[in-house]
Structure formats: structure tokens, C-alpha cells
């Protein structure tokens, strides 16, 4: 399987139903070609860094997907290029998502404990029992300007 990330900037003037329809069309396109949608992040309407086709705002969508055949990218690219609602798009090859066994269960358990009113002290105590150490920061005073020595000079003590 080959993993990809697609960033799309859609025309912000489109209504929400049109945007949802375009995202559904993209999902259907990938799944019909034996691909799998892993994640879809909708960032929403944002101001563009510079005008594109005289538009100041765009609707950002990030799609992570995987394909078995890399030749599917060519028709996908063509569809995105010809679609009037797509201002910009970029397809990047990415790495497979990392899955750690038990991570999701631990996070769910911690959120459940917090929602039940368990204090942060108990959570940190549990974390230390699991071998997770809280990050410690050490504050140091700024270096004394009198202790600075020019390069090549010996320090007088």
C-alpha cells in the first residue's frame, strides 16, 4: 500500500452542501479504485496568503489515504485540476501512520478518569507508576558578563 496526503483549497464562496458533496465525491473516487480513506481534516474557511483566481478566502481540507496502484493518482489529479471549485491542490507521498498497541486504550482511560473528576495528582501518580516521568525543566541564571573571555585568551583565576 502507498500512503498519500492530499491538501485541497476549495472556493470559500461555495455553500456547505457543495463542499460536503465534493468531499464525498473524493471519498467515492478513492474507495472505488481499491483505496482507503484514513483521515479527513476539515480546517474550514481561512484567509489565503495571496489571492488565487481573485479569491481572498479558501476552504481547507486535508485527506490522508492509501492506494494499491499509484496510477490512480493521474485521474485524481486530472479531476482536481478540472474542478472549478478547487483553487489549489497538492498530493504528497507520506509514511504509513504509526500505530502503537495500547496507546488508544490508555488515552481513553485517562479521558474517562478526568471526566469522572479524578484529580491531576492521581493521574500523574499513575503515570509515574507506568514508567512515564513528568518533564522537568531547570531554570539557570543568565551567564555573568564578567565571566566572558575573548577567544584565544586564557582565563585568569
CB–CB of 18/61 below 8 Å? no
Neighbours of 107 (CB within 10 A): 10
DSSP state of 72: G
pLDDT in tens, 80-125: 999 999 999 999 999 988 775 555 566 666 666 655 655 555 555 5
In sequence order, what E strands does 68-128 have?
Answer: 86-94
Grid cell of 140 as nine digits: 539557570
How buried is 38 (Cβ within 10 angstroms: 0-12 exposed, 13-18 middle, 19+ buried)? Answer: middle
Grid cell of 157 as nine digits: 583565576
CB–CB of 57/48 below 8 Å? yes
Q: Write out 37-52 in H/E/C secondary structure.
A: EEEEEEEEEEEEEEEE
Concatenated DSSP letters of 71-108? GGHHHHHHHHHH-TTEEEEEEEEEPPPP--TTHHHHHH
Domains and CATH numbers, the chain: 2-94 (3.30.70.60)
pLDDT in tens, the chain (157 residues): 899 999 999 999 999 999 999 999 999 999 999 999 999 999 999 999 999 999 999 999 999 999 999 999 999 999 999 999 999 999 999 998 877 555 556 666 666 665 565 555 555 555 555 555 555 566 666 666 555 556 666 655 5
Within 8 A by CB and 6+ apart from 62, the residues are 5, 6, 7, 8, 39, 40, 41, 43
Amino acid at each position: 500500500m502507498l500512503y498519500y496526503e492530499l491538501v485541497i483549497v476549495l472556493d470559500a464562496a461555495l455553500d456547505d452542501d457543495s463542499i460536503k458533496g465534493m468531499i464525498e465525491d473524493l471519498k467515492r473516487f478513492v474507495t472505488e479504485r481499491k483505496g482507503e480513506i484514513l483521515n479527513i481534516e476539515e480546517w474550514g474557511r481561512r484567509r489565503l496568503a495571496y489571492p488565487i483566481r481573485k479569491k481572498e478566502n479558501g476552504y481547507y481540507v486535508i485527506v490522508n489515504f492509501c492506494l494499491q496502484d499509484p496510477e490512480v493518482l493521474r485521474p485524481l489529479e486530472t479531476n482536481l485540476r478540472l474542478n472549478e471549485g478547487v483553487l489549489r491542490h497538492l498530493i504528497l507521498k507520506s509514511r504509513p501512520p504509526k500505530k502503537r498497541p495500547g496507546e488508544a486504550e490508555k488515552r481513553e482511560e485517562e479521558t474517562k478518569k478526568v471526566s469522572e473528576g479524578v484529580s491531576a495528582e492521581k493521574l500523574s501518580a499513575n503515570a509515574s507508576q507506568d514508567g512515564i516521568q513528568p518533564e522537568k525543566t531547570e531554570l539557570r541564571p543568565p551567564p555573568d558578563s564578567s565571566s566572558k573571555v575573548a577567544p584565544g585568551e586564557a582565563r585568569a583565576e
